[in-house]
Amino acid sequence: MRSMKQIFKKAGGFALLLCASMAQGQDIHFSQFYETSILRNPALTGIFTGDYKVGVVYRNQWSSISKPFQTAVVNAETRIPVRGEANDFVSVGLLAYYDKAGSISLQTTSLYPAINYNKSLSREQNTFLSVGFTGGFIQRSFDPSKATFDNQFQNGEYDPANPTGEVLPDPSFTQWDIGSGISLNGTTGQDNNVSYVVGVSGYHFSRPKYSFYSDRNINIGIRWNANAGVSVQASEVFSYQLHANFMQQGTYTEIIGGGLIGWNKMPPSSTAILFSIYGGVFYRVGDAIIPVVKVRYKDLSVGLSYDTNVSKLTDASRLRGGFELSLSKTGLFRDPLYEKSRTLCPHFY
């Protein structure tokens, strides 16, 4: 008789392919969502302090239940002042992500360029209305050699040389996608010590298909996002941030929010922060409690978070969800032509 391990190996190996062919797709997500602007709203592109920003986020989860789900994002953003309109600027960015799940290596690779126009709404140049667009491609694939089937088991033993008896579809396909968003962002308070942003966005307006069997009736549902964030420099030493994100895609809804408290160190006779360390916690409703630590030195920051699973999978996961690591770098161009953009940017929230 076939062992339970072999049965689960077969079931886990082909379940993701079956889901991909019979249900609407669900997008990737991150616990440190505030580090992935283009992924949640193209109108957040370029909303940071400096001339450019580059970053990487890596996520590894569910290793306690199955083969780990691995997701990585790389993004880059910069701003360009609009000639003749000193208050306005254009932001451009590029995001690429890779996601690998399950024992048959169900993979998603995507590339999304983005453009965002930021219109100043005040003479003080501290309030901006931003409208952003993104469009790119999505490639999905799986590895047929890693799938197992009933015909390959004889007398309770698995033999990969046995014919599968199955007709499998093309193991990869590519689709094009578009999205857009709007945001309001700026600074307020004494000495502009409070920065804020609110926005809404939508993705997959082109309704890309999500079927290895070329079924046009199976596609990726439109994903709607609402996001908000505020950063407060309470004193020269302490600051705090609050972030929230709402996502709805088909029947799936995700709500996550939380905050970070920071301790900052400034060098003598300087207003620039040399070193910061943040600690905080986020909560993904019905799914996970997420402690976060973030360290920033000059323009380089590193964040680490861990999902403590509190969903219905707790019996299997034993509270273990997965860890996430982020790395980002902001900076200024030395070219004097970019001097104007440095003075017109909203504070990084």
Q: If you average pLDDT over every residue of the chain, what do you get? A: 81
CATH number of 4-152+171-343: 2.60.40.420, 2.40.160.40, 1.10.4030.10, 3.20.20.70? 2.40.160.40
How large is the average pLDDT for residues 58-84?
A: 80
Domain-wise residue ranges, the chain: 4-152+171-343
Is residue 295 within 8 A of residue 262, CB to CB? The reply is no
By percentage, how much of the chain surpasses pLDDT 90? 42
How confident is the model over 176-217, as pLDDT tens digits?
A: 999 999 999 988 887 778 999 999 999 999 888 777 777 767
Q: Nearest-CA neighbor of 346 among 19, 47, 20, 42?
A: 47
CA distances from 236 to 17, 267, 274, 301, 347 (A): 53, 11, 12, 19, 16
Distance CA 188, CA 127 (A): 9
The partner residues of 57 in beta bridges, in order of sequence, read 73, 326
The more confident residue out of 243 and 189 is 243
How confident is the model over 29-69, as pLDDT tens digits?
A: 899 999 999 999 999 999 888 889 999 999 997 655 567 78
